[in-house]
Amino acid sequence: MKKVTIYDTTLRDGTQGEGISLSVDDKLKIAIKLDKLGVHYIEGGWPGSNPKDIEFFRRIKDYNLEQARIVAFGSTCRPGSKPEGDPSIKAVLESEVSTAAVFGKTWDFHVTHALKTTLEENVRIISESVKYLKAKGLEIIFDAEHFFDGYKNNPDYALKTIIAAQDAGADLVCLCDTNGGSLPLEIWEIVSEVAEKMQVPVGIHTHNDGELAVANSLVAVRGGAVQVQGTINGLGERCGNANLCSVIPNLVFKMGCECIAEEKLAVLTELSRYVSELANVNPNPHQPYVGNSAFAHKGGIHVSAMLKHPETYEHIQPGKVGNVRRVLVSELSGMSNIVYKAEELKLDIDLNRTNPETKAVLEQIKELEHRGFQFEGAEASFELLLRKAFNGYQEPFILETLRIILEKRENNDIYSEAIIKLRVGDEIVHTAAEGNGPVNALDNALRKALEGFYPQIKEMELADYKVRVLDGNSGTGAQVRVLIETHDRQDSWGTVGVSGNIIEASWQALVDSIAYGLCKQKKKLKEDTK
């Protein structure tokens, strides 16, 4: 079994992605999570580049990590200078780490056009920088920047640079596809050739500009690399780095590498979403292994087969990476989808494949989705639809009349008022409320009318409100879909409404939101009294 170490650079290379910024506290929290996952190396940053990274290295020393080694990133000394007086080298030493990653140029074009020095001088600064830091007792990883472009252009010189790092004492040489433009076959051939010629281990660091960072990392391991560098969720400059959330499970489950213990990968999905939250980016639902849709099943035939044998449409068990199986309900649904969702939602209704009500619900769902309804993000509306199709469900209230007044006043303020009459049981309630817009006024009036009957409504709060135009060709007369997310102290749920009138669509979603919240609390009370 081949052993492969994981080197995470989310805290350094990942933060170079557009719109990505992590505070020192964020970086510390992520480092702790990475350590618990079992990552072998955590690159904390470039201590010579900014005060934030300096503070990170100072504060991380107060934490007792289980196994991960914290790495400081830095460059070789500048042309014409010695490492002893170089600011970048000095900052690495002052970070007091035991492992340093030093990058140097390996592409002759970069040496002459970007670094603007001679090929011989570049080899000197690589050799002397590595030798100097190694003499200080550090483990040294030499990052061979632009190695694959350099090797394709001038293989003799690219090889000369990394041999210089090796001979100076580097413990590992990491071959970098810095521009992310290499193809898997190229990576495999070059890594295979280089690994045979080196006396120290080689690693791989790929970027995703060709959408091949994960594939390139895996073929590099097949070619001889024993370390993979990457980031959580593939964060990084331009198109990002190799996504460790895909690399790691592929190494463990598909390639059989000794990498990170299988039992620890059960936190991978949680880690992925945790990093997204701290980085303030929306998680990619279609991300392999850890995405919300990675194990989501929609087609009826797929679901029917998957329920008999999950491996028919799942390449691994979702729980191995901490994810869950999801069955979606849509116009593509079959009977299996409906039955599965009813069981998943623990509905106390008689639902089976031969029940005529079940067939009617399936046809109703398909018709509603044809009109623009979408139940994938509105499972509360779907559950209510199921309950209404069977005996025993009672509406918590019924609308008698609704009037909304919009008034544009002299100072350009818009006045909104909703006047509503509802029947709750045998009582009629008639009330009005204002709002900063018609939907807000409608929500306020509905709550005002019902809180006397259902005090628990006070715990329900609107968390999100989205409007989607379904047919832009119809202009202002287009059908719109409103999705509402509501939450209370324990849970959150989504509801949907569709109409050519945005107020009506909002009303549908609002009514379902409150009705579901009341139904949920009633069900919980019933369970608690058992």
Q: Tell which of 437, 453, 469 closes a domain.
A: 453
Chain centroid, CA 265 distance in Å: 16
**Structural contact between residues 41 and 99, judged by C-beta atoms closer than 8 angstroms:** yes
**Structural contact between residues 216 and 234, judged by C-beta atoms closer than 8 angstroms:** no
- One DSSP character per residue, 227-276 reads EEEEBGGG--STT-B-BHHHHHHIIIIIS--BSS-GGGGGGHHHHHHHHH
Classify residue 296 as exposed, middle or buried by CB count within 10 Å of its CB (0-12, 13-18, 19+): middle
Of 64, 125, 129, 58, which Cα lies nearest the Cα of 100?
Answer: 129
pLDDT at 213: 98
CA distance 435 to 419: 11
pLDDT at 380: 84
Both tokens of 183, joined, read 């193809």
CA distance 476 to 473: 9
Q: Which domain does 433 fall in, by range?
A: 397-453
Of 158, 86, 172, 153, which Cα lies nearest the Cα of 122?
Answer: 158
Q: Is residue 312 part of a domain?
A: no
- HSE value, Cβ hemisphere, 13 Å, CA-based, for 59: 17
pLDDT at 381: 84
CA distance 350 to 392: 11
Question: Residue 424 sits in a domain of what CATH number?
Answer: 3.30.160
Q: Is residue 380 part of a domain?
A: no
Q: Is residue 485 part of a domain?
A: no
Both tokens of 245, joined, read 């959330």
**Structural contact between residues 128 and 83, judged by C-beta atoms closer than 8 angstroms:** yes
How confident is the prediction along the chain (530 residues), in pLDDT tens digits per residue? 899 999 999 999 999 999 999 999 999 999 999 999 999 999 999 997 889 999 999 999 999 999 999 999 999 999 999 999 999 999 999 999 999 999 999 999 999 999 999 999 999 999 999 999 999 999 999 999 999 999 999 999 999 999 999 999 999 999 999 999 999 999 999 999 999 999 999 999 999 999 999 999 999 999 999 999 999 999 999 999 999 999 999 999 999 999 999 999 999 999 998 999 899 888 898 999 999 788 877 655 565 666 666 777 788 998 999 987 766 554 445 555 666 666 666 666 566 666 676 677 767 776 776 676 767 667 788 888 877 776 567 889 999 999 999 888 777 778 899 999 999 999 999 999 998 888 899 999 999 999 999 999 999 988 888 888 877 666 667 788 888 889 888 888 889 889 988 899 999 999 999 999 998 877 666 655 55
CA distance 103 to 279: 26
3-class SS at 174? strand
List Cα–Cα distances, 475 to 105, 369, 438, in angstroms. Answer: 56, 21, 21
- In 315-355 the beta strands, taken as DSSP E runs, fall at 326-327
Structural domains in the chain (count)? 2
pLDDT at 332: 46
pTM reported for the whole predicted model:
0.72
Q: Is residue 112 part of a domain?
A: yes
Q: H or E element: which one contains 105?
A: strand 99-105
3-class SS at 50? coil
3-class SS at 217? helix
Q: Tell which of 388, 422, 453 closes a domain.
A: 453
CA distance 191 to 196: 9
Residue reference for tokens 């409103």: 482
Q: Is residue 363 part of a domain?
A: no
CA distance 431 to 427: 13
Both tokens of 217, joined, read 């990392």
Chain centroid, CA 25 distance in Å: 20
The residue type of 501 is N
Question: Residue 105 sits in a domain of what CATH number?
Answer: 3.20.20.70
The residue type of 263 is E
Q: Is residue 56 part of a domain?
A: yes
Chain centroid, CA 237 distance in Å: 17
Of 385, 387, 359, 390, which Cα lies nearest the Cα of 374?
Answer: 385
Q: Is residue 371 part of a domain?
A: no
pLDDT at 183: 98
The residue type of 105 is K
Residue 483, beta-bridge partner list: 466, 496
- One DSSP character per residue, 397-455 reads -EEEEEEEEEEE-TTSPEEEEEEEEEEETTEEEEEEEEESSHHHHHHHHHHHHHTTT-G
pLDDT at 161: 98
Q: Is residue 145 part of a domain?
A: yes
Pairing of strands 461-469, 480-487: antiparallel
Q: Tell which of 239, 260, 281 closes a domain.
A: 260
Both tokens of 304, joined, read 């029917």
